[in-house]
Amino acid sequence: MVDRQEGRWVFAAIRPAGRPEGLWALPKGQIDAGERAEATALREVAEETGATGVSLGKLGDVRYWFNWEGERIFKVVSFFLVRYEGGELGNVPDAFRHEIAEVRWLPLEDAERLLAYSGEREMARKAAARLAGENL
C-alpha cells in the first residue's frame, strides 16, 4: 500500500510478530476459499495495517521454496499495488494484533534498503517504476 505524503511516495511496512526490530515486510496472506487474489490483497492490507486502499493492479508474483515441519513447500505470492484510501496505519484489528508487532509508513525510495526479502524489494521497485511521475 502506498500513499503520497509531503511530495514523496511512502509504503506501508509491517514487522511481523516475533521478528527482530528493523525487519520490515509487506502485508500478505492466504487466499480464502472463493476469494480472488486481488480481494485477498486488499483484505490482508486492511487486516495487517489497519488502513484500507484501492487496487491499482497487479505488480507481479514471487515464487519460492521453503521447509515446513520437514516438508519442502513451493509458494507463489501475488502482489498488488494498493493506493491508501483511509483508516489509521497501525490501528490493527484486535483479531490480528498477535500477528503484527509494528506498522509504519516508510519512504518508497528506501524500500531496497529496508525490506528484508528480495522478492518484496523487487515488488517495491516495480511499484516505484509504475508510480514515477504520478501524483495519484
Domain locations along the chain: 2-131
Beta bridge partners of 110: none
69: left (phi over 0), alpha (psi -120 to 50) or beta: left
Q: Tell me what percent of the residues of the chain surpass a pLDDT of 70.
A: 98
> Which helix (H) or strand (E) covers residue 13, if one does?
strand 8-16
Determine the pLDDT at residue 136. Answer: 57
Q: How far apart are CA 127 and CA 56, in angstroms?
A: 10
Q: Is the pLDDT of residue 126 over 80?
A: yes
pTM comes to 0.91
Report the chain's terminal Cα–Cα distance, integer Å: 13
For cell 517504476, name the residue: 129
Over residues 15-31, the pLDDT tens digits come to: 999 999 999 999 999 99
Domain range 2-131, CATH class: alpha beta
